[in-house]
């Protein structure tokens, strides 16, 4: 997600939660757990840490991934709208991919790069955590369609077309300004090229019209790598409407439910929406000030003051379970998964504080009556099925 800076002190203050029952822990270890959105790479280039050992200031490291049963972690190759505007997006994306590759090379007994779902069983042998790559924001593509294939060659297996602001591919959900009315013609070409290569198209962060355009254009199922449901957060377009959840499922895709409090709590979602409205207004004032030669306001100072005035509410993992229940009701259990946004958000529900905590989610699903077979689908089976179908569509 990466809305505001991640204060390490906040991440250290982990909330306590009762240990999950043994049955939940066994299922988490035995199932293939796939989390489609973990923001570790950006943090590696901002503040390096060896994730092969314990790094309690982060949400993801190897010991806790094994504790939680995580098998496939999609490392988010995130670049901001500012990186795109300054011409740094391509460079920062390459650096993050390098950082993931270096982590694997440093710890070949703990990590392996994953480029195809066909390799999951082979590569996870011996307790390795498999690192797949998903690009959050299409900014690094620039204006060159050939860059899609170049990033595919580097291992990127999904692209979130836009992030917090509209770009040359797509309108973004957070931004009031919608210059494209959905996807741009270039964005449509990017979707078609991703289909050709067997890359998953990710509709998280997109405006509703852009999501509909992706569903119209794509010849393969699509994913929402880290989204929750607007049913619980009215007016918060960053989350998916009931209709869009149904349409993604009808095309064979999967909605990966995010854990971040800003997604799953109505109060936090309202605050996030207000934050972006005020940020848009600040940027408009700054544009006028710059044109008139007057001083501009600091966005960093605005964000810091915002955090002071809007403390994030505390919620439990039950709210995440509510979003999963609703998604299953709308789409069916074959079209729901998990995309935590670990290391990309500053606040998380009690019981879902790091990659060690997937057994807590399993226990919650079991308590709500889900059978083990359906839990396995939600934990990762559905995402792997969609990934296989995207590859099959490319071969066709």
Interval 338-386: pLDDT, tens: 999 999 998 999 999 999 999 999 999 999 999 999 999 999 999 999 9
**E strands, 39-89, where?**
70-78
Domain boundaries, the chain: 26-264+315-395, 266-311
Report angle CA 356, 35, 213 to the nearest 5 degrees.
155
Residue 17: the pLDDT is 74
Would you state the pLDDT for residue 19? 85
For residue 191 the two structure tokens come to: 């979707």
**3-state SS assignment for residue 257:** strand
Q: Give the DSSP H or E segment for 375.
A: helix 372-376
Domain 26-264+315-395 has CATH 3.20.20.140: yes
Residue 179 CB coordination number (10 Å): 10
Residue 255 is given by DSSP the state E
Q: What is the pLDDT of residue 176?
A: 85
* Whole-number pLDDT of residue 265: 96
pLDDT of residue 7: 35
What is the per-residue pLDDT for 5? Answer: 38
Parts of the chain with a pLDDT under 50: 4-14
Phi-psi region of 205 (alpha: psi -120 to 50; beta: other; left: phi over 0): left
**What number of other Cβ atoms are within 10 A of residue 337's Cβ?**
26
CA distance linking residue 35 with residue 20, whole number of Å: 19
Please answer whether residues 148 and 188 qualify as being in contact, where contact means their C-beta atoms are separated by less than 8 angstroms. no
* Residue 378, CA atoms < 13 Å, CB-side half-sphere: 28
Rg (the chain; Cα; Å): 20
Distance of CA 381 to the CA centre of its chain: 17
């Amino acid at each position: 997600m990466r809305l505001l800076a991640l204060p390490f002190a906040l991440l250290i203050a982990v909330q306590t939660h009762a240990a999950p029952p043994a049955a939940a822990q066994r299922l988490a270890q035995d199932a293939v757990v796939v989390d489609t959105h973990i923001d570790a790479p950006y943090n590696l280039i901002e503040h390096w840490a060896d994730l092969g050992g314990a790094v309690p200031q982060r949400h993801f490291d190897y010991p806790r991934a094994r504790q939680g049963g995580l098998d496939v972690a999609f490392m988010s190759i995130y670049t901001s709208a500012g990186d795109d505007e300054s011409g740094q997006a391509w460079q920062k994306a390459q650096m993050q991919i390098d950082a993931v590759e270096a982590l694997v090379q440093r710890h070949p007994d703990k990590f392996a790069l994953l480029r195809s779902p066909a390799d999951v069983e082979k590569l996870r042998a011996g307790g390795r955590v498999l690192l797949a790559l998903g690009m959050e924001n299409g900014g690094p593509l620039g204006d060159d369609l050939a860059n899609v294939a170049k990033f595919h060659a580097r291992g990127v297996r999904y692209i979130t077309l836009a992030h917090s602001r509209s770009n040359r591919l797509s309108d973004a959900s957070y931004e009031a300004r919608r210059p494209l009315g959905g996807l741009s013609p270039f964005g449509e070409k990017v979707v078609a090229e991703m289909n050709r290569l067997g890359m998953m198209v990710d509709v998280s962060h997109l405006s509703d019209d852009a999501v509909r355009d992706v569903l119209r254009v794509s010849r393969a199922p699509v994913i929402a790598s880290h989204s929750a449901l607007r049913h619980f957060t009215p007016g918060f377009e960053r989350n998916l409407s009931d209709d869009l959840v149904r349409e993604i499922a009808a095309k064979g895709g999967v909605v990966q439910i995010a854990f971040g409090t800003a997604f799953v709590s109505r109060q936090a979602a309202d605050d996030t929406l207000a934050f972006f409205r005020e940020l848009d207004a600040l940027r408009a004032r700054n544009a006028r000030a710059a044109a008139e030669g007057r001083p501009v306001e600091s966005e960093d100072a605005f964000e810091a003051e915002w955090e002071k005035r809007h403390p994030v509410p505390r919620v439990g993992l039950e709210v995440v379970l509510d979003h999963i229940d609703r998604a299953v009701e709308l789409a069916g259990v074959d079209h729901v998964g998990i995309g935590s946004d670990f290391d990309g958000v500053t606040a998380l529900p009690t019981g879902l504080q790091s990659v060690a905590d997937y057994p807590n989610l399993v226990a919650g699903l079991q308590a709500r009556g889900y059978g083990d077979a359906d839990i396995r689908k939600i934990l990762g089976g559905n995402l792997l099925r969609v990934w296989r179908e995207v590859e099959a569509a490319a071969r066709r």
